[in-house]
Structure 1
Amino acid sequence: MTNVKEIQRILLRMSELLTFSGRDDWASSISHLADKADEGYSSVRPEIRQMYGGMGSLNDIVLYKDGNLLREENDEFDALRHRLHELTRG
């Protein structure tokens, strides 16, 4: 059974990190998915999976602020991204 609450928690934290680094476009999209997850796993899974493919995908995001690489935030974001991928894999 998929843990929708964990998916929501991950999405919201990812959105916070994206907002902090000025990536408001991505933050808004991911926050929207967190809200949509209330409708259930099957309503949000396809959209989450689509974010992982192609150029300019979720996998390509590196967090910067004021021209400085955010190392700790990137490490956290990467861990969240991998966990979200695991939760929506099958």
Structure 2
Amino acid sequence: MDTFSSPPSSGSTSPSPEAMMDQLQTQLAQAYAQEFLETLRAKCFEKCITKPGSSLSGSESSCISRCVDRYIEATGIVSRALFSRQR
């Protein structure tokens, strides 16, 4: 049952706007984190894994580590730039 489209039943209270906003922010943060990890995985895998197998070679492991570090660093730079422009 969708709590947003159904009227509250007698005796129950609907969530406060603040609670709904908190829930929405939590869901957006989870979706962003999931998308971030999926993008990171796809990009670094494509770049670093040349011969998929049961384990990573030393060079593949180093490449993935550097790729993840650079991707996180770049995301932080972009985020700071976007947030500073909004102020």
Normalization by structure 1: what TM-score?
0.30
Larger radius of gyration: 2
Of structures 1 and 2, the one scoring higher in RCO (CA 8 A, sep 6+) is 1
Normalization by structure 2: what TM-score?
0.31
Q: Which has the higher strand share?
A: 1
